[in-house]
Homo-oligomer: A and B are copies of this chain.
């Protein structure tokens, strides 16, 4: 029973994250995480503020990872290309890490939680840049971002919860959705070319 000094916080999040991906968010319980780490549940309180704190830590971790994935996808691209790459990275993350992704949403902003706010806001720059490249009016940028974010999130979240009854080709549906939004945006930017 060797003593591990200061090696845990990261382990806790990683373990919980993996558990969420493998068995769903409901399976992430302090008891199970503790058990996987060969530890009693109360011990987790030294690293995390209860179940709520663990969920928050999971959400922050997931948001950061999603953010880096999107930024990496957009790197070296511009405009529509960048947008498509971001959309693709977004869905990839959600499908490969369904548990981690879902923590992002089930953790509502606690009004004054500056850290959560900051991490979430950090995801925006690459998207903003891509939209600017399309020539979107700055006064409408926020709305367009929301539209994209809503669509991406809605799709992957419906996909994750099996909300799409008909099987069909989800890849094609996703691409078409992005096309729809891109075309709609372009149509708005350049009324008559």
A residues contacting B by CB (< 8 A) are 105-106, 108-109, 117, 120-121, 140, 142-144, 146-147, 149-155, 157-158, 161-166, 168, 172-173, 176-177, 179-185, 187-188
- Which of these, B109, B147, B163, contacts A177 with CB under 8 Å? B147
How many angstroms between the C-alpha atoms of A172 and B117 in the bound complex?
A: 23
The contact of A184 among B142, B165, B179, by CB within 8 Å, is B179
Contact A165 B105 (CB under 8 A): no
Main secondary structure of the interface of A (DSSP, over half): helix
The one of B143, B153, B180, B183 in contact with A176, judged by C-beta atoms closer than 8 angstroms, is B143
Question: Max chain B CB contacts within 10 Å: which of A163, A173, A180?
Answer: A180
A109, B155: Cβ atoms under 8 Å?
A: no
B105 touches A161 (CB 8 A): yes
* A165 lies within 8 A of B120 (CB): yes
Query: Given the complex, which residues of B lie within 8 Å of A153, measured CB to CB?
Result: 154, 157-158, 163
Q: Which residue of B lies closest to A164 (CB)?
A: B146
